[in-house]
Each structure stands twice: as structure tokens, then as C-alpha cells.
Amino acid sequence: MLPLGAAPPPPPARICSKMLPLRVPPPPPPPPAARICSKMLPLRPPTPPPSPPALPRVQKRTILQQPQPRQTNPLVWCAAILCLIFSLILIFFGIATLIIFLAIKPRNPMFDTPNVRLNTIYFDSPEYFNGDFVFLANFTNPNKKIDVRFEYLDIELYFNDRLIAAQAIQPFSQRRGEVRLESVHLISSLVYLPQNLSMELRKQVLSNRIQYNIRGTFKVRANMGLFHFSYWLHGRCQLEITGPPTGALVSHTCTTKR
């Protein structure tokens, strides 16, 4: 209860329910120096780094002369010199041989048999043969400027490619244009002959026409002053002889080849 005569209290202030928006103050403008220019400037290529200072010419020459070439092995030089000497020797001998053949024109010695004698043919058994045969070997040197020497001579007697006798001759020399005759005695002692060859030889004896083959192998050395060379010769003679004991030469063919 309020006492009488007291003034009534003032009414309470009304609170307005309408909310006013808060005003945010605008940001201050940036200073002029911080403004970014929106105009695009052209891109510039990066500047190359500065080149090192040029060296003096004397220093460049010194740097270029530092790497030295590798030295060749002495063995390589020796091998090259030997190959050169060998090539020169081959060339020299080739030219010398050509000159000799063109100037001298060497010819091969010839082998021949002008006379033969068939002394004996008999059989100890149907397949073992015995014979005695002598012939005169003729060796001729047809060269006019070359002397020759027969260093090895071997004579073989064949019947139908079957060896029945052999004989060696002593070495000898021949001057240019010389002819030499050698008597060669060939003896067949118990030489085995197959049955077909034995029958063939018997038939030829009965027909008085026997065919023998002489084969000679010779090693010849040709002498031309300071120069000489050796080679092999092969002589072949095919003979037709009458029957023993007075077998004589009827016909023959001889060849001499290297």
C-alpha cells in the first residue's frame, strides 16, 4: 500500500523491439604507394649471366698444348719395318724372275729312252714274277744360257700301273746344250702280281709284244750365275717291247713335265 499523498512512480521506459542494423565503418583507403597497377607490362627475357673474363692468348695456347699424343709402341714400328722389307724383297724377286723368263726363256730338261733290252721274264709260281730289264736313259739340257744339275733321280718300272722294279741314279750336272746317256738296270725278284695281271703278262710274252711303263722323278736345279732355283720334273715313257731273251724296243712315247 502506498501512503496517501505520494506521487505515483514514473512509468518504466519502453524498450523498442525494432533492432537497428549495425553500421560497420568502411575500411580506410589504401595509401597511394600500395596500389597495384592493373596494366600488364611486357615480359622481358632474363638477362644472361655475365661471361667469364677472356683469358690472355698466351694462357690459351698453354691450355691447348697440354694434351700430348700417345707414343707408338716400338714393337709396332719393328713389325711395320719388317713388313716393308719383306714386301721390297718380294717385289725385287718378282721383277728379277720376270726379267729372267723374258730374256733367257728357260726350258725344262728332257728325258727319253732310245734303246731297251728285255733279258728275262719267268714265274716261280703263278703269282710271283722275276725279270731283268735294261734301258738307256737320255737326259738333254736344251737351254742355251742355263746350266742344270740333277740332284735327285729315281726310276720306276710299271706293268699295268703295278710297280715291278725301281732304281736310283747318282746325281750329275749338265752344261747348256749337253746330252747325257745313262744305262739303267732294273731287276724284278719275286714280285707279287695279282692273278689277272699275271695272266695278262703271260699273254703278252706269248704274243711277243710286252707293254712296260717307265716313270722318272727328278729334282733339278738351274744355275744362272749368282741366281739359281730348283724344281721337280716327272718323266713318263710308254714302251712296247718284243719278248725275252732278245727283247728289243718296238715303239715308245716319252714326255717330261713339271
DSSP of 57-93, one letter per residue? HHHHHHHHTSSPPPPPPHHHHHHHHHHHHHHHHHHHH
Under 8 Å CB-to-CB from 100, ≥6 apart: which residues?
Answer: 106, 224, 227
The residue type at 238: Q
- Tell me how far apart the alpha carbons of residues 234 and 254 are, in angstroms, rounded to a whole number: 11
**CATH topology assigned to domain 110-257:** Immunoglobulin-like (2.60.40)
Closest residue by Cα to residue 155 from 139, 169, 138, 141: 169
45-92 residue pLDDT tens: 566 666 655 555 544 454 555 556 677 777 888 988 999 999 999 998
Distances (CA, A) of 114 to 5, 109, 138, 213: 202, 16, 7, 14
Q: What is the residue extent of each domain of the chain? A: 110-257
Mean predicted confidence (pLDDT) in 223-241: 89
Q: Model pTM greater than 0.75?
A: no
- Tell me how far apart the alpha carbons of residues 144 and 175 are, in angstroms, rounded to a whole number: 9
Other C-beta atoms closer than 10 Å to the C-beta of 70 total: 6
155-212 residue pLDDT tens: 999 999 999 999 999 999 999 999 999 999 999 999 999 999 999 999 999 999 999 9
Under 8 Å CB-to-CB from 56, ≥6 apart: which residues?
Answer: none
